[in-house]
Structure 1
Amino acid sequence: MEPTQLFELVIAMLLAIIALHYAAHRLGLPPSVALLAGGALLAFVPGLPAITVDPGLVLVIFLPPLLMDGAWSIALVRLRRHMIGIASLAVGAVFFTCAVVAVVTHLLFPSLPWAACAALGAIVAPPDAVSARAVLERVRLPRRLQILLEGESLLNDASGLVLFRFAVAAAATGSFSAVEAAASFLVLALGGAIVGVIVGTAWVKFVRRLGDEYLIIAATVLLAWISYLLGELLHVSGVIATVTTGLIASWHQHTVFSAAMRMRGTSFWTVMIFLMEASVFTLIGLSLRDVVERGGGFATVIATMGLPMLAILVMLVIARFAWVFASDLVIRLCASLGFKRAQPLGAGGATVLSWTGVRGVVTLALALSLPEEFPGRDFILATSFSLILGTVLVQGTSLGRIIAWAQLVEPETERARLTMSQAEAAMAQAQLGTIQNLAYDPEGNLIHPQLLERYQRRATAIVDYAARTEHYIPVLHAHFDVVLEAVATGRRELIRLHRAGDIDDETLEELERDLDLEELSAISAKA
């Protein structure tokens, strides 16, 4: 394919992403479902050149920034609080699922070597971070379930990658050691964490020395790839390195970023992550053509592999249910013995947690990275894609209904001690204290009366609002509706003056920025 054709194909794919995302919004479907199905249909458009996905390149391009984004937005305090539960899912559930899939595959195909069965188990065992984000962004979960799923999706890829590498090595050498695999996992995870701490700490010190906000934003974007590639270069877990770096950067961003930098950086990062997530699902769909052609066509794939693939999909789901419910039973038993630190999820919470094991880009990339001569490679490829398709289409579209059925309630222990209104009141009181100290000169003369009156009035209003939130909500909505209408009127007048030639471009940009900030503030306050 010519470079120009490749660029045209990329532009066409981005346009398709926008169209498919819009269609999903209008039809009420999860965007991941529309993108995956749309990519699969585009793959068989007559005249479209076959798209070969380089698995290593896909992982390097897409995985680090998506992991960084997840680590950046995760609640670090709750992550520490639920680390045992997250480790149970990210390590225990992955190992258990790998074993179940390996046994089922070997029962279905006794001639397939155990190493190949284990490789398939390692490929499909970890739920995908990208797929999990795509599903979770459309639903609302209690904080505990949310943090368990987010933490699992950040860390489980490391478990799957270690198992996969050992399975491939076992297929080549004919030997496998569970003890060696466990030791290797610990070394890779610890080494990745150390690399992440070093890179994250260096980033914090480096950003504090940079004076240009655009350089800081650029350095922050590159941070994901730096930590991942450095981890892989040192033969430790690039996944853990990236996540650790992201957690450190997230913790310090409130002190090293200015307000303008945070707004601009967040806007840029949000658009980039949206395009990356959408591109991943579209690429997965486009790769269907290669998978089907290698299997001999749709009819051959369904006739020879359909039932085994369905059986593995069912066992994959059952394995996650078994692990989650067994873990919840252990927690319940511990609670009955007096260990009250962890509370059981209950049937509803365990069901929702079990139903969120959606597979995605890591599964496909690992399957495509298998050597050409690997035993059962075509079956593993077809099965991996069918599991991605099945989990996204079935679990991704039905999760909202499962959550509604479960009627989940936020436990008291997971709720913040202060509401947003109470936190805002505390912040306003602290600001008023500063103003009261600075409103007077050293001789005790009041030099900022209007500023002092403004902050006193604001603190009083916020405290009153915190005490009677429900009473003020309709009034505030009406208030900010008027503010937004005034902003719109000011914007129209500003544009009229510019079109008439009464003001220049610089004046337009400066005053429009003020209006933009006022509009964003009103929208945020109304929400």
Structure 2
Amino acid sequence: MDAEVFYVLVGALAVGALARWRGWPAPLVITVAAILVSLIPAIPTLDIDGHLLLNLTLPPLLYSAALEVSFVGFARSLPHIRRLGMGLVLVTALVVGLVAWWIMPELGFAGALLLGAIVGPPDAVSAAAVGRKLGLPRRVMTVLSGESLINDATSLTLVRVFAAIVAGATVTVWDGLWAFAVAVVLGVAIGLVFGIVLHQLRVRLDDPVVVGTAGLVVPFGAYAIAEHLGGSGVLAVVAMGLYVGFHAPRTDYTTRLQERPLWQSADFLLESFVFAYIGLQFPRVLSELGARDAGVTIALALAVFAVVLAVRPVFVYASYAWGRMWQRIRIMRWKHAQEAFRRNPDDPRAAIIRKRRDKLAARGIELNERNLRQRILEPALSVQERAVVSWAGMRGVVTLAMAAALPDLTGDAMPESHVQKLVVVAFVVTVGTLLLQGLTLAPLIRALGVGADEEHRQDATQVRAIQARSQEVGKAYLRARRSEWKERFGPGGAEVFDRMAQSLLKVERDTDRAGQVLETADGAAPVGPTYEDLVALSKGWLEARRTMLLEERDRGNLGEEVMRELMTAIDAEELAIDTRGAVRDFARD
């Protein structure tokens, strides 16, 4: 088994590397290649326990995805994400269950619903890869990524409930709702605790190797403990990742610079193996199908596949229209409350306005109609963008792993032949959506003309405003430090300071210029400020700009994605300073 896993991993990485080099969607290419390889008679079937597969791949993949998701964007898009991540999974499970029960009544209604819960959650890995390559708007990417972060929790909870019913337990609707509520609350709470602890560790340790290693390990702990206590391990990992990602700008820059390529490599490794494993299950699925009941099973698989394809667009368009209508009603209520507040601040209807106004004022934000709409209305999706979301419903490892874990979930309550049929259906839906939707998603995006041109223009406007603000903050910081330098080092130190300040402000975005200035200034003032003084000045100037970026993000004036790009540029400047200093010390030694 160890050698087989190694061979699969190496082969998947090789195919994935080729796909990335050619610009192809790696998950789809790996899946197709694995299916073709599985048809070779000499290739053995790779059999991995479903629970083990979930426990080893789900926590790191979810945590990495949550780190990259904009918390602000996630919060703004939460109504749509919640509808898709919870409502769509429930609707899909119900419709698939009804169709499966009608076609194959011997499964029982609970068994049919169990099948619906298994095929319910889409996997956004392939869709995200295509979307990033083609430049989908961030609001679309946020919805897809956010949905994939929470829909697994909904599906896993439904699978446990329906599996318990199949196994003979008496579970009412209220029992199921209570189990889901406990899973959500407990999972999020545990995730936040782990996130706070990990963030404090990241802030207090200046060793990026230790911090990076802890980041690799902690998601497994959060997932396992949440599952053991009856919570949702998925939501625990997601909550932890969102918390750590939101507060990442407050950690040491070396941690941020090392963390991103580390998780990109881990994602590539795990995703390559997962999609290769999906493809390699093809011969086992064919052997389990056999001749007996083959026709009915194939009919069931095709029917479920069609239902999965059809339910998503209907739900996306209908739920979006309902959600926007409800949000507009909320805005009207807010406007009426504001009017009541203007007439009489003590009006009971104005209490919500006073509370919101005071909360925003503490963050330096004015309560006006623009900010009100920004905080109530989810980002608008055009008809074309909703079409893209509707077609990005590829299934992945969670569906296959839950199907593989069916024997452990149901015990002896479900006949082995029924389990095999459910596995076949789950595999057909997974591979079918990967190939059909995955291969046609990019042409659909191009045909609909969905792009991020408007976002790019908005980003450019934000960047220009932030650059002007950065100049002001930099000048204020330097003015405050100049008098200190003149007092410490005299007129000579002030002269060095002026040349240093002029260079910093002139080439603010040149990542290597700061180090050059330090080197020149150090030689120009042998009896004045030391090299370390100049380094401290430059780093303080960079930190003032970082603080400004965080403040602008928290006020809602700067998108989090843009903030991260600007923060990366500042990190590169500090790395240039430290690298030049390390080379200088080495040369002296």
TM superposition score normalised by structure 2: 0.72
Tell me the distance in 1 between the aligned counterparts of 2:577 and 2:250: 26
Aligned to 2:173: 178
Is residue 2:81 matched to residue 1:86? yes
Shifted more, 81-90 versus 15-24: the winner is: 15-24
Tell me the distance in 2 between the aligned counterparts of 1:78 and 1:276: 26
**Offset of residue 391 of structure 1:** 0.9
CA gap 1:10/1:428 in 2 versus in 1, 3 angstroms: farther
CA gap 1:30/1:517 in 2 versus in 1, 3 angstroms: farther
**Offset of residue 301 of structure 1:** 8.3
Is residue 2:435 matched to residue 1:401? no
Aligned to 2:385: 349
Tell me the distance in 2 between the aligned counterparts of 1:321 and 1:233: 36
Q: Which of 253, 268, 279 is residue 274 of structure 1 equivalent to?
A: 268
Tell me the distance in 2 between the aligned counterparts of 1:515 and 1:210: 20
Aligned to 2:43: 48
Tell me the distance in 1 between the aligned counterparts of 2:58 and 2:438: 20
Is residue 2:499 matched to residue 1:453? yes
Aligned to 2:427: 385
**Offset of residue 89 of structure 1:** 0.8
Aligned length: 465
Tell me the distance in 2 between the aligned counterparts of 1:417 and 1:27: 30
Alignment of 1:330-479 (within 5 A): 330-331=322-323, 333-334=325-326, 341-342=377-378, 345-371=381-407, 373=412, 374-375=414-415, 376-408=418-450, 415=458, 418-440=461-483, 441-443=485-487, 445=491, 447=493, 449-450=495-496, 452-457=498-503, 459-460=505-506
CA gap 1:418/1:514 in 2 versus in 1, 3 angstroms: closer
Structure 1 unaligned regions, length at least 5: 466-475, 481-512, 519-527
Tell me the distance in 2 between the aligned counterparts of 1:412 and 1:264: 28
Alignment of 1:169-248 (within 5 A): 169-173=164-168, 175-248=170-243
**Offset of residue 184 of structure 1:** 1.2
Alignment of 1:488-499 (within 5 A): none
CA gap 1:226/1:515 in 2 versus in 1, 3 angstroms: same
TM superposition score normalised by structure 1: 0.80
Contact 2:152 2:398 in 1 (8 A): yes
Contact 2:203 2:250 in 1 (8 A): no
SS in 2 for 1:235: coil
CA gap 1:205/1:19 in 2 versus in 1, 3 angstroms: closer
Show CA shifts across 1:172-231 (max 9, x none): 126442222112111110000110111111122233343433211111111211111111
Is residue 2:68 matched to residue 1:32? no
CA gap 1:422/1:181 in 2 versus in 1, 3 angstroms: same
CA gap 1:147/1:107 in 2 versus in 1, 3 angstroms: same
Q: Which amino acid aligns with 1:230?
A: I
**Offset of residue 11 of structure 1:** 3.4
Tell me the distance in 2 between the aligned counterparts of 1:26 and 1:303: 41
Aligned to 2:59: 64
Tell me the distance in 2 between the aligned counterparts of 1:246 and 1:86: 17
Q: Which amino acid aligns with 1:327?
A: S
SS in 2 for 1:125: coil
Tell me the distance in 2 between the aligned counterparts of 1:16 and 1:433: 56
Tell me the distance in 1 between the aligned counterparts of 2:258 and 2:463: 24
Alignment of 1:101-140 (within 5 A): 101-140=96-135
Tell me the distance in 2 between the aligned counterparts of 1:105 and 1:172: 19
CA gap 1:82/1:336 in 2 versus in 1, 3 angstroms: closer
Contact 2:486 2:494 in 1 (8 A): no
Tell me the distance in 2 between the aligned counterparts of 1:89 and 1:274: 26
Aligned to 1:314: 306
**Offset of residue 27 of structure 1:** 5.7
Show CA shifts across 1:410-452 (max 9, x none): 6789956953343244334423432333344354736254554
Tell me the distance in 1 between the aligned counterparts of 2:325 and 2:264: 43
**Offset of residue 388 of structure 1:** 0.9
Show CA shifts across 1:1-44 (max 9, x none): 5xxxx23x333223312331244346653111111122223334
Tell me the distance in 1 between the aligned counterparts of 2:16 and 2:476: 48
**Offset of residue 141 of structure 1:** 1.7
Contact 2:80 2:323 in 1 (8 A): no
**Offset of residue 343 of structure 1:** 6.1
**Offset of residue 366 of structure 1:** 0.5
Tell me the distance in 2 between the aligned counterparts of 1:272 and 1:42: 24
What percent of counterpart residues are identical? 29
Contact 2:76 2:379 in 1 (8 A): no
Q: Which amino acid aligns with 1:445?
A: P
Contact 1:132 1:153 in 2 (8 A): no
Contact 1:53 1:287 in 2 (8 A): no
CA gap 1:201/1:33 in 2 versus in 1, 3 angstroms: same
Tell me the distance in 2 between the aligned counterparts of 1:231 and 1:352: 34
CA gap 1:400/1:48 in 2 versus in 1, 3 angstroms: closer
Q: Which amino acid aligns with 2:161?
A: F
CA gap 1:112/1:61 in 2 versus in 1, 3 angstroms: same
Structure 2 unaligned regions, length at least 5: 333-372, 514-574, 581-589
Contact 1:119 1:164 in 2 (8 A): yes
Tell me the distance in 1 between the aligned counterparts of 2:475 and 2:173: 62
Aligned to 1:325: 317
Tell me the distance in 1 between the aligned counterparts of 2:172 and 2:68: 37
Tell me the distance in 2 between the aligned counterparts of 1:214 and 1:461: 32
Tell me the distance in 2 between the aligned counterparts of 1:206 and 1:332: 41
SS in 2 for 1:113: helix
Contact 2:128 2:144 in 1 (8 A): no
Aligned to 1:150: 145
SS in 2 for 1:144: helix
Q: Which amino acid aligns with 2:214?
A: A
Q: Which amino acid aligns with 1:237?
A: S
Aligned to 1:284: 278
CA gap 1:336/1:265 in 2 versus in 1, 3 angstroms: closer
Contact 1:44 1:289 in 2 (8 A): yes
Q: Which amino acid aligns with 1:459?
A: L
Q: Which amino acid aligns with 2:404?
A: L
Tell me the distance in 1 between the aligned counterparts of 2:60 and 2:293: 35
Tell me the distance in 2 between the aligned counterparts of 1:193 and 1:172: 29
Tell me the distance in 1 between the aligned counterparts of 2:323 and 2:255: 44
SS in 2 for 1:250: helix
**Offset of residue 353 of structure 1:** 1.0
Show CA shifts across 1:126-155 (max 9, x none): 112444444434332222211111111001
SS in 2 for 1:447: helix
Tell me the distance in 2 between the aligned counterparts of 1:235 and 1:294: 33
CA gap 1:516/1:288 in 2 versus in 1, 3 angstroms: farther
**Offset of residue 61 of structure 1:** 0.6
